[in-house]
């Protein structure tokens, strides 16, 4: 379970949105019953190409799983299965104990109210300002007057450090800024689980550290369960409680970060070595 919120006003405001929606922080007794996310022997192929083969992992409430591996090994596919955008060929996927692979679109809409995804491109509305992008999920949900919406939006803008661009359109923002705003908008939906798809792709190391700090702070203050897909080992070291390593469609490692770093598996060692490689100075 996450530490006590450092910003209880924001936590209470987000937890209180939507009336009957359960608060983000789950009681300790309930949390002990089962993991928040479970993949069990999940397989999926596109035509004759096997993307995932018998992949299993779980994520406890309030914890962060980093899915690592080289490009094209199915990391992002796992997130899309969890969101219901793809259906696995076989296996079980459970969210808070509920099997989701058999759900229709209406059932998945209910699941998506609990899980949100931050896409690589941010998926922001180009015609809306930063402030209005973040406000959009609050207005869609309803039940709040305009003053309440604006108060929550300001807290979220402050959490991701976007105060200086709140009236800008997304097209005027850097890639890193767009992703920070996308995180704020994702939180406005009051999720219990946040999925991050390659959040540091195409951003410089300084922005990557800043995004990592935002994700860490959200976990610490609001207790989110998180899954982070990344190929950036330094980023994963800051965030991961557990690691899933995918190689050629198989989950070749699932466990604590320290054990992953010490693994003798040659594919893992190659991944770690390549990640540390730096071009020589001219």
Domain map (residue ranges) of the chain? 8-275
What value, to the nearest 5°, has the Cα angle with vertex 66 and ends 60 and 67? 115
The model's pTM is 0.81
Cα separation values, 64 from 122, 236, 243, Å: 20, 10, 9
pLDDT tens-digit profile, the chain (282 residues)? 334 333 334 445 454 444 433 333 443 444 456 799 999 999 999 988 999 999 999 999 999 999 999 888 889 999 999 999 999 999 999 999 999 999 999 999 999 989 999 887 667 899 999 999 999 988 888 788 889 999 999 988 988 888 999 999 999 988 888 888 988 888 888 889 999 998 888 777 777 888 888 888 877 877 889 999 988 888 899 889 999 999 999 999 999 999 999 999 999 999 998 765 444 444
Output the pLDDT for position 229.
93
Q: Write down the CATH number for the domain with range 8-275.
A: 3.40.50.300
Contact call for residues 96 and 114 (beta carbons, < 8 A): yes
Contact call for residues 167 and 130 (beta carbons, < 8 A): yes
Cα separation values, 4 from 121, 221, 222, 236, Å: 32, 7, 8, 23
What value, to the nearest 5°, has the Cα angle with vertex 66 and ends 60 and 68? 140
> β-strand 250-256 against 242-247: which pairing, if any?
antiparallel
């Amino acid at each position: 379970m996450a530490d006590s919120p450092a910003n209880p006003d924001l936590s209470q405001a987000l937890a209180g949105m939507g009336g009957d929606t359960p608060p983000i922080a789950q009681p300790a007794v309930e949390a002990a019953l089962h993991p928040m996310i479970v993949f069990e022997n999940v397989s999926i192929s596109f035509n004759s190409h096997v993307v995932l083969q018998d992949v299993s992992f779980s994520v406890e409430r309030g914890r962060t799983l980093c899915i690592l591996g080289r490009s094209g090994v199915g990391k992002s596919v796992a997130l899309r299965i969890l969101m219901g955008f793809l259906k696995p060929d076989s296996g079980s996927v459970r969210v808070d104990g509920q099997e989701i692979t058999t759900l229709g679109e209406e059932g998945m809409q209910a699941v998506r109210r609990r899980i949100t995804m931050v896409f690589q491109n941010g998926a922001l509305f180009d015609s809306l300002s930063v402030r209005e992008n973040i406000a959009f999920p609050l207005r869609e949900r309803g039940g709040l007057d305009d003053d309440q919406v604006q108060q929550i939006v300001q807290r979220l803008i402050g959490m991701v450090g976007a105060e200086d661009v709140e009236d800008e359109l997304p097209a005027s923002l850097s890639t890193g800024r767009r992703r920070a705003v996308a995180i704020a908008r994702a939180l406005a939906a009051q999720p219990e689980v946040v999925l991050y798809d390659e959040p540091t792709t195409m951003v410089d190391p300084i922005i990557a550290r800043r995004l990592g700090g935002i994700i860490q702070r959200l976990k610490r203050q609001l207790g989110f369960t998180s899954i982070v897909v990344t190929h950036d080992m330094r980023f994963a070291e800051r965030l991961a409680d557990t690691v899933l390593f995918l190689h050629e469609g198989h989950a070749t490692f699932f466990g604590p970060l320290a054990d992953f770093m010490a693994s003798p598996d040659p594919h893992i060692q190659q991944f770690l070595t390549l990640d540390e490689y730096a071009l020589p100075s001219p």
